[in-house]
Amino acid sequence: MRIEIPVITRCGAPVKISEDGAYVKNRRGEPVWEYKGCEVTGKGIYVAACARSGTIYMTRVLEKLGYKIGHEKTDVDGSVGYHLAIIKPDNCFHQVRHPLKQIASMFDHQAWGFMNHVIECHGRGLLGCMQYWLKWNELLEEFCVWRYRLEDLSDVWPEFLERIDHPFESLPDIKERNSRETNNSCLCKKLTTFTWEQLSACNRELARKVYDKHLQYGYSPARDREESIQSSGQPQGA
């Protein structure tokens, strides 16, 4: 039995959930993202993350290994994307990205309508982006079996391969790994950057929760100094 949930994305697309999966279509009837469990053979490879957390990059890495992996959709070997938060597949990996980088990249994301159905966020400004990073990652904690930091993938690469039952080979060189193309189609837009001080000025209590969570995930103050690049202007929506 198909269950239709009345959720409207920014582009006016309803989210529909069935027993086997879920999908979002735009006004032309084209899938924005979809998941069909019946298309996956075997146990599948699944990597879930917040939006703008390197899921396109991870999809390309797995493709270089010879797998047919869908980005925000399914293919015969599995799926990668933020949408897996509502699918909750077995043996799913949790990929995290440093919050200062993910939050900065989140400003022009188009699927807030779907996300606001799953979690409550106050708008698309800095406050909403902070809430999204925290709450979406907490959702993934509930069912994912293993977590790693995107920035440190090379350090855990042998374990990653072992967990997907793949013989060892070097981590593929994907040029887009550290660019906005890692997970953004709007390459022409200038990326806003934030510091912890700016997050705290927006909402001190929430900023502390985000900071504590990122420490729990293994990030360090030393890395914060690398990631916290001063913005040329005030954060939008603060």
Residue 213 maps to which CATH number?
A: 3.40.50
Return d(Cα 170, Cα 16) in angstroms, integer. Answer: 39
Query: Would 235 be classed as within a structural domain?
Result: no
Range of the domain at 216: 37-227
Write down the pLDDT at residue 136. 96
For 6-20, write each residue's pLDDT tens digit: 333 333 445 566 666
Query: Would 155 be classed as within a structural domain?
Result: yes
* 182 token code pair: 């890692």
Q: Is 140 in a helix, a strand, or coil?
A: helix
For 171-199, write each residue's pLDDT tens digit: 999 975 444 444 444 333 455 789 999 99
Query: Would 53 be classed as within a structural domain?
Result: yes
Write down the pLDDT at residue 211. 97
Q: Compare 206 and 73 and report the one with higher pLDDT.
A: 206
Write down the pLDDT at residue 230. 38
Helix axes 126-141, 204-216, angle to 10 degrees: 40
Residues 15-20: contacts with CB under 8 Å, at least 24 apart: 15/113, 15/114, 15/117, 17/86
Return d(Cα 77, Cα 181) in angstroms, integer. Answer: 23
Amino acid at 142: E
Among the ranges given (72-81, 98-107, 176-185), the one the predictor scored with the smallest mean pLDDT: 176-185
Sheet holding 21-25: strands in order across?
3-8, 14-17, 21-25, 31-36
Strands 70-71 and 45-48: unpaired
**What is the DSSP track for 148-213?**
EEGGGHHHHHHHHHHHTT----PPP--GGGGSGGGS-S-TTSPPP---HHHHHHH-HHHHHHHHHH
Write down the pLDDT at residue 26. 66
Integer CA distances (angstroms), 223 to 99, 113, 133, 214, in order: 11, 32, 18, 11
Number of domains in the chain: 1
Write down the pLDDT at residue 109. 73
Write down the pLDDT at residue 17. 61
The overall average pLDDT reported for the chain is 80
27 φ, ψ to 5°?
A: -70, -20
Return d(Cα 76, Cα 190) in angstroms, integer. Answer: 36
Write down the pLDDT at residue 165. 97
Query: Would 142 be classed as within a structural domain?
Result: yes
Query: Would 32 be classed as within a structural domain?
Result: no
Query: Would 59 be classed as within a structural domain?
Result: yes
Write down the pLDDT at residue 168. 98
Return d(Cα 122, Cα 111) in angstroms, integer. Answer: 14
Query: Would 169 be classed as within a structural domain?
Result: yes
Sheet holding 92-96: strands in order across?
70-71, 78-81, 45-48, 92-96, 146-149
For 215-235, write each residue's pLDDT tens digit: 999 999 876 776 654 333 333
Query: Would 151 be classed as within a structural domain?
Result: yes
